[in-house]
Chains A and B, each alone.
Chain A
């Protein structure tokens, strides 16, 4: 048996589930329905340049970047605590982080609803303490919160896994040569953990920019992201052509961001993806 035959199931799998759908997306994006049947056209792509859709794209990008940044800020210290050998409870801590991932994604997001709603738990508490009711949902903040909550583990785990691999001897060598604790962090820990940070960013940014369920649930449809628009085109308006065009642009968007991040990681071993 040659090497080729081992790979063939994957090849078949990839063709059916990746390559064929890609071609379908391309096909729908660049054609429109006319009297002569489907003909080649750039109309769908041109429509994206309308201010309404540009705005949605920008909003999606900004919210995804915000969530990624917040995830990074929370995840890095958490991963450092996890990786610290002196922190003997780290398995408990690790389980606490991973545990929510075992729960259904929708369920987790719905549970936030019951906390944040106008009549939710938080507001009930606030009112019982004699304060004004707060508008916690139906805004961009709630969407970012949902993204951070759902995607945080994808940032912590890759960073954690590079941090635990850093040899304690190397840290000691840096101290030996005169580094303070902060110096060790800046000159050793951060550069050595960069591959983990970059893959964490990828793993949070990608789902964050394309999500539609978090924005729909937590903003009650008030904050429309690119994912919501695409969903609407396919499921509500039945405009597969425009939906495909939007998907295509989103994909290009993600690819460009990845290239950008990968460029930042060149020179460091591994890189991402």
Chain B
């Protein structure tokens, strides 16, 4: 597969502020890439540079192998679903969605068919004649998706396109978008805050923070092998515990030696250990590797979420077993679930 979009050394400065700091990113044709990161980390800015609404201060943007830094937005085969919808309030729903096809001078009966189909995809059949101001936030968001999708661009940029939807609708739309992605072979560059959405929909997840890319990988990769504590913390909840690599396959943390699967560290190298809350087994106090005292319990539907303290460290635990506050429990972790990260002088 060839690269459809390539960002080379992209930097974006606003005055003294660096919104993007030497970003390098390659996106393959037909890929579903998600940009994930906290608010203000530069996700929208990255999309705006790809869409042609912002000039990078440094670096090059390639589309299909050709440099497109100078190509204006209207000449790029890229369409955007804007974070703030940006619908045309003076036009009806129909005219909003038909805006792109009309510009391309498509035949009107064809446009009509496509608008209908787009409205079906976003679950708003029969909304053609409605005025934008009469739509709810979630409906507006879906019209924005339909307006971009109808053009079948090579690359579709989606800036938190499901942010205003409730859980049920969001899951439905996630499925629809995934289907569209597979059916049309459009490359999706998707921005979200929601790590679950990122993990479930994407081929590749790009984790960003403060204008930098911290990790690029498959959802499994970034979840199971986070490269930095920030990634570990941002992608799902996790326990990050300082520790020491005693030798290959043996790590000490929480005052206990654990077997692990990592090697290649210096003897007694300081490292960070990541353990996912759902990977911690709650046992009886004497069969556990370490003991801890439960300090809080919350019912979360499928499981209980507990915190338990041991040697001044608060463990976050997800378990289907209920343990009451102040009960002493045992904790055990299998070697596969202990992830070792190199200690960085400055983390994410």
Measured CB to CB, the residues of A under 8 A from B are 167, 169-170, 172-180, 183, 187-188, 191-192, 268-269
Q: Which residues of A contact B99 (CB under 8 A)?
A: 174, 177, 187
A175-B73, A177-B79, A177-B147 as given contacts; A170 in contact with B100, CB under 8 Å: no
Q: Which of A167, A177, A188: most chain B Cβ within 10 A?
A: A177
Residue of B nearest to A180 (CB): B74
Interchain CA distance A191-B100 in the complex, whole Å: 17
Contact A173 B80 (CB under 8 A): yes
Q: Is the interface of A mostly helix, strand, loop or mixed?
A: helix
Contact A178 B51 (CB under 8 A): no
Can you name 17 A-B residue pairings with CB atoms under 8 Å? A167-B84, A169-B82, A170-B86, A172-B51, A173-B80, A173-B82, A173-B88, A174-B88, A174-B99, A175-B72, A176-B51, A176-B78, A176-B148, A177-B148, A177-B151, A179-B74, A180-B74
Contact B82 A179 (CB under 8 A): no
Interchain CA distance A122-B78 in the complex, whole Å: 57
Contact B72 A173 (CB under 8 A): no
Q: Which residues of B contact A174 (CB under 8 A)?
A: 88, 99
Of the candidates A170, A178, A191, which one forms a contact with B104 in the assembled complex, judged by CB atoms under 8 Å apart?
A: A178
Query: In this assembly, does B113 line the interface, its C-beta being within 8 Å of a C-beta of chain A?
Result: no
Contact B103 A179 (CB under 8 A): yes
Contact A177 B100 (CB under 8 A): yes
3 closest A-B pairs by CB: A169-B86, A173-B86, A177-B100
Count: A-B pairs, CB below 8 Å: 63
Residue of B nearest to A191 (CB): B90
Query: In this assembly, does B53 line the interface, its C-beta being within 8 Å of a C-beta of chain A?
Result: yes
Q: Which residues of A contact B84 (CB under 8 A)?
A: 167, 169
Min CB gap B267→A, angstroms: 56
Query: In this assembly, does B136 line the interface, its C-beta being within 8 Å of a C-beta of chain A?
Result: no
Interchain CA distance A258-B202 in the complex, whole Å: 57
Min CB gap B107→A, angstroms: 17
Known: A167-B86, A175-B73. 13 other contacts (CB 8 A): A167-B84, A169-B85, A169-B86, A170-B86, A172-B51, A172-B53, A172-B86, A175-B53, A176-B74, A177-B151, A178-B74, A183-B74, A269-B133
**Interface size of B as a range:** 20 to 34
Min CB gap B12→A, angstroms: 16
Contact B51 A170 (CB under 8 A): no
A167-B84, A183-B103 as given contacts; A192 in contact with B89, CB under 8 Å: yes
Min CB gap B55→A, angstroms: 13
Interface string of B82-96 (1 = CB under 8 A from A): 101111111000000
Q: Which residues of B contact A177 (CB under 8 A)?
A: 74, 79, 99-100, 103, 147-148, 151
Q: Which residues of A contact B103 (CB under 8 A)?
A: 177-179, 183
Interchain CA distance A188-B88 in the complex, whole Å: 8
Min CB gap A177→B, angstroms: 4
Interchain CA distance A245-B141 in the complex, whole Å: 57
Q: Which residues of A contact B72 (CB under 8 A)?
A: 175
Interchain CA distance A191-B90 in the complex, whole Å: 7
Interchain CA distance A191-B96 in the complex, whole Å: 14
Min CB gap A83→B, angstroms: 17
Interface string of B276-318 (1 = CB under 8 A from A): 0000000000000000000000000000000000000000000
Min CB gap A145→B, angstroms: 35
Residue of B nearest to A178 (CB): B103
Interchain CA distance A268-B89 in the complex, whole Å: 10
Of the candidates A167, A175, A192, which one forms a contact with B74 in the assembled complex, judged by CB atoms under 8 Å apart?
A: A175
Of the candidates A176, A179, A183, A192, which one forms a contact with B90 in the assembled complex, judged by CB atoms under 8 Å apart?
A: A192
Interchain CA distance A192-B100 in the complex, whole Å: 18
Contact A170 B88 (CB under 8 A): yes
Interchain CA distance A167-B89 in the complex, whole Å: 11
Interchain CA distance A106-B122 in the complex, whole Å: 62
Interchain CA distance A167-B88 in the complex, whole Å: 10
Of the candidates B82, B147, B148, which one forms a contact with A172 in the assembled complex, judged by CB atoms under 8 Å apart?
A: B82
